[in-house]
Structure 1
Amino acid sequence: MALGAGREGTARRDLTDLPKAHLHLHFTGSMRHATLVELAARDGVHLPDALVEDWPPQLSAADEKGWFRFQRLYDVARSVLRTEDDVRRLVLEAAEDDVRDGGRWLEIQVDPSGYGARFGGITAFTDLVLDCVRDASERTGLGMAVLIAANRTRHPLDARTLARLAGQYAGRGVVGFGLSNDERRGTTSEFGPAFAIAERAGLLLAPHGGELRGPENIRDVLDHLHADRLGHGIRSAEDPALLERVVESGVALEVCPVSNVALGVYSDLTSVPLPQLMEAGATIALGADDPLLFGSRLEGQYATMRAAHELTDAQLAELARMSFRASRAPSDVVERSLADIDAWLKAEPV
């Protein structure tokens, strides 16, 4: 179906009822704004105006100064997590928010090295996160798993340490290994050995690529890190040959439209090239990235793309189906969710 074809007039099905898998959500970035403000007040942590009166902040990552500002706000937010109960609250609230948005499965991404100093080391923190995930899943009914991510601004040897850590938990709540932070930093090929460790452990490989940098970055990530999914990957639309490679290899794209615009990758939501990716046959999973800093959660990604590109409910349903197909959700979760997506589409629009 061509983009925008067969529109159902003004009637639209409720997107919060559409089952979804959420594959691109960062740990601290999942925090509710109200929780950030409350925890900061409790411990006397000063929050910049961009995280209080001027929230959500005006951001841009067009240059390193802009990215530094974004990272500084993220670091301030992370600093309010002081106790195990704080971590437990963050994970539970992230699960509750996804369920409210129609989420059935969540793969939350965390870099334990950013929290280990306060929580007894990276292994102890990983144990804590996995315990919180199990508890939140039981309490909300949301299926959940963890991706451990390295930071490309740190030494590649640190990434190897985290890949080994992720491998130790493979099959015990950790399903993948990623690489995040500023794509303009570090040399992608130097992280190859870390991804080889994760690959041998049977983990999903999901590094960031193709948001702040263009097609050349995506090629590096595919060639050197053997990505199964691309965190973002949106700029594959700029190179037809690369996009064809992505489609033919089955590499899924974790597209985060609101954050793309907030960081200045695109000028507005209508410029996000989702239609080109869909028409090329790419596997796409919409994600919220960092709701704390971008002000939009999972359902908001679907709603903004529906409005910006006049997507039909059939196209939105296919986006939801692709999110499950690209996930590491158990087969029963996938099958039940796909059936419920079909039921959503068969229901009368309101």
Structure 2
Amino acid sequence: MNLPLVEIHCHIEGAAPPELVERLAAKYGADLDGTIENGRYVWSDFTEFLSCYDRASSVFRSGDDYRELTLTYFRDLAAQGAIYGEVFASPDHAAAMGISYGDLVDGIAAGMDDAKTESGIEGRILMTCVRHLGPKAAVAVAQIVADNPHPMVTGFGMGGDERAFTAADFAPAFTIARDAGLGLTSHAGEFGGPQSVIDTLDHLHVTRIGHGVRSIEDPVLVERLARDGIVLEVCPRSNMELDVYDEPSDHPLAALKAAGVKVTLNSDDPPFFHTSLAEDYAFAREHSGFSETDLLACSRTAIEAAFVDEDTRAKLLKRCTPSA
């Protein structure tokens, strides 16, 4: 059985292959300061990962750079068998490098269009605020997204260090995005524990949670997720690389699924975590006991939760069937 794969949690800057980052660094004369060694990103904990991510992101300095990055990533996704991908993009990272919001969107959208022409893969963009930059910066991002609608920008989310501030602090930004008709998701339940998921649901009113795996520590929360149909964007290999869990057998993916929670499989920042979307699907099969039918259900769940128009969703669901 050849499975159609679906990705709804990946940061576009975090999808950059080290060789692309090194090439652009040479082009711009940028100092990567130990970011990459022997073709691999270098970091040892979550705080260092965030710093490494920022340094690698700093080499993307034009809309054309983002176009190349996006095409590179979606070309790879399609080669793995993916039919759809959503990427998080950060206007704050782009602005720090002098890239306008319009150039950022146009560059990513152009890369998606190129990839679709090549392989048929669909893509959408979710704009994100960065939690540790604070609530005012989040409102600014939400407002520029709301004021500049684009057919490929269909969602709004929040990444960054979930240990910073409270979920309630970001309610104004998410209200702006919701009123603009954008789908909503936010990172929670990775380092912040189950309470971070509860707070995110209570104050940001998202339909999806980025990661959310530590929800398993609160049975009442798990029941709430299952009852309300909240979708978890699970990134198992990312969780392992960041030491959220010590052993693959400790990962709660199987337990969450067994409890009726809607789970999807995603790669997060694939080259940073030495993974790929296909490898995260393989993790679910090898370490969480997922059958081919279970994996296909993850793909269908991701499409059902995707921030797309209903016509596109219907077409994707038709493609999301196994082939011999």
Q: Normalized against structure 1, the TM-score is what?
A: 0.86
SS in 2 for 1:264: coil
SS of structure 2 residue aligned to 1:291? coil
1:21: how far off? 2.0
Match of 1:34 among 19, 40, 63: 19
Which residue of 2 is the match for residue 201 of structure 1? 180
Moved over 4 A (4+): none
Paired residues of 1:146 and 1:175 also in contact (CA < 8 A): yes
**Deviation digits for residues 296-333 of structure 1 (CA, Å, limit 9, x no counterpart):** 11111001221112321111111121111111234454
- Within-5 A mapping of 1:136-215: 136-170=115-149, 172-215=151-194
Separation (CA, whole Å) in 2 of partners of 1:86 and 1:154? 24
Q: Which residue of the partner structure matches residue 7 of structure 1?
A: none
Instruction: Give CA-to-partner distance per residue, 1:116-169, whole Å, 9 cap, x none.
Output: 243443344334333443343334321111101011111312211211222234
2:37 maps to which of 45, 49, 52: 52
How far apart in 2 are the matches of 1:134 and 1:116? 23
Q: After superposition, where does 1:275-286 map in structure 2 within 5 Å?
A: 275-286=254-265
The one-letter code matched in structure 2 to 1:153 is H
- Please name the residue that 1:43 is paired with: 28
- Which has the larger Rg? 1
Are residues 119 and 48 of structure 1, via their aligned partners in 2, closer, same or farther at CA, if it must alter by over 3 Å? closer
Give yes or no for contact 1:237–1:273 (8 Å, CA) kept in 2: yes
Q: 2:200 aligns with which of 197, 221, 228?
A: 221
Question: Match for 1:38: what amino acid?
Answer: R
Which sits farther off after the overlay, 226-235 or 322-331? 322-331
Aligned length: 324
Residue identity over aligned pairs, in percent, reads 33
Q: Which has the higher contact order (CA 8 A, sep 6+)?
A: 1
For the 8 Å contact 1:184–1:212, the answer to whether it is kept is yes
Residues 27 and 108 of structure 1 are in contact (CA less than 8 Å); yes or no, is this contact kept in structure 2? yes
Give, in angstroms, the shift of residue 206 of structure 1: 0.5
SS in 2 for 1:342: coil
Partner in structure 2 of residue 24 of structure 1: 9
Q: What TM-score do you get using the length of structure 2 for normalisation?
A: 0.93
**5+ residue gaps in structure 1?**
1-12, 62-66
- Deviating more after overlay: 172-181 vs 328-337: 328-337
Q: Do structure 1's residue 105 and structure 2's residue 114 form an aligned pair? A: no
CA distance in 1, matches of 2:33, 2:51: 10
Alignment correspondent of 1:303: 282
The AA in structure 1 aligned to 2:169 is E
Q: Do the aligned partners of residues 30 and 120 (structure 1) sit closer, same or farther apart at CA in structure 2, a change above 3 Å counting?
A: closer
Describe the shift of the 1:88–1:148 C-alpha distance in structure 2 as closer, same or farther (beyond 3 A). Answer: same
Per-residue deviation, 1:85: 2.7
Kindly provide the amino acid, as one letter, of the partner of residue 221 in structure 1. Answer: T
- The residue number in structure 1 matching 2:211 is 232
Give structure 2 stretches of 5+ with no counterpart: none
Change (3 A) 1:308 1:102: same
Supply the AA of the counterpart residue of 2:139: R
CA RMSD, 1 decimal: 2.0
Q: Is the 8 A contact 1:269 1:305 kept in 2?
A: no
In structure 1, distance between residues paired with 2:44 and 2:120: 34
Give distance in 2, aligned partners of 1:98 and 1:80. 22
Alignment of 1:243-258 (within 5 A): 243-258=222-237
Shift in CA distance, 332/18, structure 1 to aligned 2, threshold 3 Å? farther
2:74 counterpart residue number: 95
Partner of 2:272: 293
Is the 1:215–1:236 Cα contact (8 Å) retained in structure 2? yes
Q: Output one character per residue of 1:49-92: Cα deviation in whole Å (capped at 9) or x when no partner.
A: 5622272545323xxxxx1x111111111122133332211010
The aligned amino acid for 1:298 is: L
Q: Retained in 1: the 8 A contact 2:124–2:153?
A: yes
Structure 1 residues 165, 253: CA separation in 2 closer, same or farther (over 3 Å shift)? same
Amino acid in structure 2 at the alignment position of 1:42? K
